[in-house]
Structure 1
Amino acid sequence: MIEINGNEGEGGGQIVRSSLALAAVTGQPVRLTNIRGGRQKPGLLRQHLAGVRAIQAVCSGDVDGDQLGSNELTLVPGKLSGGDHRFEVGSAGSAILVAQTILPVLLHADAPSTIEIGGGTHAAWAPPFDFFLRCYLPLLARMNANVEADIESHGFYPAGGGRVVLKVTPSTGIKGLTLTDRVGKLQPRVTALVSKIPTSVGERECDLIARKTGWDKKAFQVLDVPQAGGPGNVVMIELGFDNVRELIIGFGKIGVKAEQVARATLREARAHLASDAPVGVFLADQLLLPMGLAARNGHRSEFRTGPLSPHCQTHIEVLRRFLDVNIQSVTGENGSVDVSVEAGDGCIGSA
């Protein structure tokens, strides 16, 4: 049984999610202790517990310690099964993080799956649905993963109430991916979402970004979300290239002017464009697990990103515990980091 100390590295929920997914896919039992030990409120929260129970359902696993606030958890995985499942976070906790937890398992299951997840879809501490749909899933498709995603209801913080639906076809083998340069010209797109608040908020966000960038008016849109669990506002700057997209996201807050939200979001977008790294800090973290599974199949992957976050560094250590992979990172003079993921010396490629 693999022992994982949840207090290592950045000590957050990523350790739980990745450990469970990797345990299920590789068939290795895992025991987690000091869960989320690096957080002010340690232990399993609702979104983590939803991920645990989702993993249990799709891998027919035996689980011990699946309670709110639990600091220890054991999973003994069984058969990976497709089918229809419905999971509820029960709060504004991220439905997308639950989806990312079980997605590697469903890609290795014995049949297609349709998954419905209720919870938050747009919150500052997790990848929003749009990032998942427009940035992450297209890259998974290039790695031989067939995943469709739709949103039935938006869930903004703090109300939640969102709902997403995934349709997953088991993969014939996850393949490698190379993202070391941006290809083609910038294709910007700016979208402001508003729910149960005046559309003028989104219009002001778009107007400021349009004035500051001079981008074509066709690149801007304000969407009044028809189905949502509560009020909310998000402005998203999509920096699209032929081979990769990055989504920079600003979250509206009570007492913060729309122009302030837009200005801060644009500042972050410009910083990303100023670097030569095609992969942003959050996308880098999310690509590591499928790249590790591709390495398990004998396929090499590499990408260029900015300085690795503590989150990302911790994720690398978790991958090394479950997979015989060689993960290298080399920092350039300009601060960019080249990351490669390939099979270790004892790994025999299956594809």
Structure 2
Amino acid sequence: MSYLTIDGSQGEGGGQVLRTALTLSILTQQNIELINIRAGRKKVGLLRQHLTCVLAAQEICGAITEGVELGSTRILFSPGQVKSGDYHYAIGTAGSTVLVCQTILPVLALAKENSTITFEGGTHNGMSPSLSFLEQSFLPVLKSMGVNCVVNTTKLGFYPAGGGKWQINIEPTQKLSPIHLSEAGSHFAQSSENCSLTVLVSLLPDAIGQREIATAKNILNWPDAVSQVQKVVTPGPGNSFQLSIKSKTHCSVFEMVGELGVSAERVAKRAAGRVNKFIHAQAAVEEHLADQLLLPIALAGSGSFTTTQLSLHTKTNIDVIKQVLGIEIQVEQINDVLWKVYLEK
């Protein structure tokens, strides 16, 4: 049996190489050998959330695997046929449930029948896309490409306690439709109706959220933007500060998760700084959504968007897609702060 060898140490050397490779392995029915898994991280190999990604990918297609265990830096993955259905994955830590979802969602989005997946673990940890981002930013774009998903949340889970639980229902499509996003987010940011500030707090004073909102409103000059401090129930304390700019197709979400020893004002300044960078660039897509859109565009066969400077994470994702699919997503620098990412038929 022949395998396509994918080096997990390339680029940013993290879990994205693993997730993208697993997704594309199933969709192309290509056997893969992943080596040097997460070689660029302090703790190399499969951690709990990465192991859950592999096990989820394995289950939905009945894959034959080798080396799938905690700490493993090399695995073999031979995919079988995709099976729609009901699945349940519990990470057992505050690891990102959204990243597990990211691995299998594109596959089940192109399956023959509906699927329902329940996840347990972390939902907002600051080091990966949150459940809020998934719902508000990514899934609306995916819907415009033909896939309708509905999220039902039982409870959220902040780092380090985790304990979140949520479910996604996926109505698949036969083929993803191309999408082209070029209208500048700064255009929508000019109206307070399109801008909002939301704070999720659990087991912490409301005053933290109120200080974050006040600081960001002042920096961004958003005095009339809708704002709210929302109390949520989670196993451990947590604070998620979210700034959103709504466009015709999606919300650009800029989120900072509070950390022990970091003031509310500092959290707000970091989030507002990202918003200002986005507005100044006149981009359509912020950097985290840019990374998430690469795979759907590749699967659609064409598409484009403008964004701010590409992260190493995004560049690595482009390289893995090229290696497995043999297609090259193009990147064109328009000016000092704006880039165009596109795939032509």
TM-score by length of structure 2 reads 0.94
CA-based RMSD: 1.4
Name 2:75's counterpart in structure 1.
73
Number of matched residues? 338
Name 2:199's counterpart in structure 1.
192
Shift in Å, 1:266: 1.3
> Could you tell me how far apart the structure 1 residues matched to 2:177 and 2:326 are?
16
Could you say what secondary structure the match of 2:174 adopts? Answer: coil
CA deviation vs aligned residue, 1:85-143 (integer Å, no higher than 9, x gap): 10011101000000010001111223211100111100111001111111100001111
Shift in Å, 1:210: 2.9
Q: Given the alignment, which residue of 10, 15, 33 partners 1:13?
A: 15
Name 2:292's counterpart in structure 1.
286
> Could you tell me how far apart the structure 1 residues matched to 2:296 and 2:40 are?
25
Q: Which runs of 5+ in 1 are unaligned?
A: 344-351
The yes-or-no answer on 1:42 pairing with 2:18 is: no
Q: Contact between 1:80 and 1:108, CA under 8 Å: does it hold in 2?
A: no
> Could you tell me how far apart the structure 2 residues matched to 1:329 and 1:213 are?
30
Could you say what secondary structure the match of 1:340 adopts? Answer: strand
> Could you tell me how far apart the structure 1 residues matched to 2:273 and 2:309 are?
18
Q: Which runs of 5+ in 2 are unaligned?
A: none
Could you say what secondary structure the match of 1:194 adopts? Answer: strand
Shift in Å, 1:217: 4.8
> Could you tell me how far apart the structure 2 residues matched to 1:310 and 1:218 are?
33
Q: Given the alignment, which residue of 133, 136, 139 partners 1:137?
A: 139
Q: Compared with structure 1, are the counterparts of its residues 306 and 185 closer, same or farther at alpha carbon in structure 2 (3 Å cutoff)? A: closer
Could you say what secondary structure the match of 2:323 adopts? Answer: helix
* Aligned positions of 1:66-215 closer than 5 A: 66-182=68-184, 185-186=188-189, 187-215=194-222
| % identity of equivalent residues | 37
Could you say what secondary structure the match of 1:97 adopts? Answer: helix
> Could you tell me how far apart the structure 2 residues matched to 1:185 and 1:85 are?
38
**Which range moved further: 315-324 or 65-74?**
315-324
Letter paired with 1:293: L
Q: Contact between 1:306 and 1:335, CA under 8 Å: does it hold in 2?
A: yes
Q: Contact between 1:325 and 1:342, CA under 8 Å: does it hold in 2?
A: no
CA deviation vs aligned residue, 1:327-346 (integer Å, no higher than 9, x gap): 21111223311111134xxx
> Could you tell me how far apart the structure 1 residues matched to 2:226 and 2:318 are?
37
Q: Given the alignment, which residue of 247, 253, 257 partners 1:241?
A: 247
Q: Compared with structure 1, are the counterparts of its residues 332 and 212 closer, same or farther at alpha carbon in structure 2 (3 Å cutoff)? A: closer
* Aligned positions of 1:175-324 closer than 5 A: 175-182=177-184, 185-186=188-189, 187-217=194-224, 219-225=226-232, 227-295=233-301, 300-324=302-326
Q: Compared with structure 1, are the counterparts of its residues 69 and 284 closer, same or farther at alpha carbon in structure 2 (3 Å cutoff)? A: same
> Could you tell me how far apart the structure 1 residues matched to 2:173 and 2:298 are?
15
Could you say what secondary structure the match of 2:113 adopts? Answer: coil
Q: Given the alignment, which residue of 27, 31, 34 partners 2:33?
A: 31
**Which range moved further: 75-84 or 244-253?**
244-253
